[in-house]
A and B are shown apart, each in its own frame.
Chain A
Amino acid sequence: DIQMTQSPSSLSASVGDRVSITCRASQTISTSLNWYQQKPGKAPNLLIYAASSLQSGVPSRFSGSGSGTDFTLTITSLQPEDFAAYYCQQTYSTPLTFGGGTNVEIK
Chain B
Amino acid sequence: QVQLVQSGAEVKKPGASVKVSCKASGYTFTSYYVHWVRQAPGQGLEWMGRINPSGGSTIYARKFEGRVTMTSDTSTSIVYMELSSLRSEDAAVFYCARAVAYGNNWYGRFDPWGQGTLVTVSS
Type the 1/0 row for B26-54, where 1 means its CB is closer than 8 Å to any CB of A. 00000000010000000011110000000
What A residues does B114 contact at CB under 8 A?
Answer: 43
When the two chains form their complex, are residues A91 and B105 in contact, meaning their CB atoms are under 8 A apart? yes
Q: Determine which of A36, A42, A98, A99 lies in contact with B47 in the assembled complex, contact meaning CB atoms within 8 Å.
A: A98
What B residues does A50 contact at CB under 8 A?
Answer: 102-103, 105, 109
- Asked if A28 is at the interface of the complex by the 8 Å CB criterion, the answer is no
When the two chains form their complex, are residues A32 and B113 in contact, meaning their CB atoms are under 8 A apart? no
Q: Determine which of A43, A87, A91, A99 lies in contact with B109 in the assembled complex, contact meaning CB atoms within 8 Å.
A: A91
Q: Determine which of A44, A92, A99 lies in contact with B113 in the assembled complex, contact meaning CB atoms within 8 Å.
A: A44
B contact residues, total (Cβ < 8 Å): 24
When the two chains form their complex, are residues A46 and B116 in contact, meaning their CB atoms are under 8 A apart? no
When the two chains form their complex, are residues B108 and A49 in contact, meaning their CB atoms are under 8 A apart? yes
When the two chains form their complex, are residues B47 and A97 in contact, meaning their CB atoms are under 8 A apart? yes
When the two chains form their complex, are residues B113 and A43 in contact, meaning their CB atoms are under 8 A apart? yes
What A residues does B111 contact at CB under 8 A?
Answer: 46, 55
- Asked if A89 is at the interface of the complex by the 8 Å CB criterion, the answer is yes
Give A21 Cβ to nearest chain B Cβ, in Å: 14
B-to-A contact residues, CB < 8 Å: 35, 44-47, 59, 61-63, 95, 97, 102-103, 105, 107-116
Pairs of residues from A and B, 10 with the lowest C-beta to C-beta distance, nearest first: A91-B107, A49-B109, A43-B113, A98-B45, A96-B47, A46-B111, A95-B61, A101-B44, A34-B109, A100-B44
Given contacts A43-B112, A96-B107, A97-B47, 10 further A-B contacts (CB under 8 A): A44-B97, A44-B110, A46-B110, A89-B45, A95-B62, A96-B47, A98-B45, A98-B46, A100-B44, A101-B45
